[in-house]
Amino acid sequence: MSARHLRRALLPLLVAMLLGACHESNTADLQAFVQNAYKGQHLKVEPIPVMTPPKPFVYSAEHLPDPFSPANLETGAAPAGPRPDLNRPKGPLEHFPLDALKMVGTLWRHQEKWAIVEAPNGSVHRVRLGDHMGESYGTVTKITSEKVSLVELIPGPNGGWVTRQASIAIGK
């Protein structure tokens, strides 16, 4: 008999001996606890609530316009109005939501006003009129010592874009 066959034969015997050794432990206190733990206590089970059947509802759309009529279907033409320049490379402040950016100050340089804006990662950037900020294609339109005003482009109804006014006030 090889060593491999001997191990296979002795393994079940070893497992049986280990399990037999665990059987004779003193568990009298555990058995007494289990028997007396909930003695004299009665479980209180609430009855199942009575369900009332829902009232039937009849849907009637006779007076509503047909959603599949040609007048309600899109023609496939691009909606007119503002739209972001998707081919323009994004600036460093366009990777953060607008509410995560903080205005920390302003400065003048060659008759041009700049806003100092801090990003959530701790980097500080100079922003001037026409620069882009925020994830909604925001364009800086005005800089004062109190705030930076922007015009954002957000998706609107019917697949077009809608402008929205936004601003970042200086942090205290």
- The domain locations on the chain are 92-169
% of the chain with per-residue pLDDT over 90:
33
> What are 89's strand-pairing partners?
none
Structural contact between residues 134 and 94, judged by C-beta atoms closer than 8 angstroms? yes
Alpha-carbon gap, residue 102 to 169, rounded angstroms: 8
- How buried is residue 22: exposed, middle or buried, by Cβ count under 10 Å (0-12/13-18/19+)? exposed
Q: Give, for 50, the enclosing helix (H) or strand (E).
A: none
pLDDT at 104: 92
Average pLDDT, stretch 19-46?
77
Could you say which DSSP state residue 170 is in?
A: B
CA–CA dist 148, 95 (Å, integer): 18
The CATH code of the domain at 92-169 is 2.30.30.830
For residue 85, the model assigns a pLDDT of 86
CA distances from 82 to 70, 139, 159, 166 (A): 26, 12, 12, 16
pTM for the structure as a whole = 0.54
Model confidence over 108-147: pLDDT tens digits?
878 889 999 999 999 999 999 999 999 999 999 999 989 9
d(CA 125, CA 31): 72
pLDDT digits (tens, 9 = 90+) for 44-57: 888 999 999 999 98
* pLDDT at residue 31, rounded to an integer: 82
Which residue type occupies 140? Answer: V
- The model's pLDDT over 78-117, given as tens digits with 9 standing for 90+, comes to 666 788 888 989 999 999 999 999 999 998 878 889 999 9
* Tokens coding 69: 């009529």
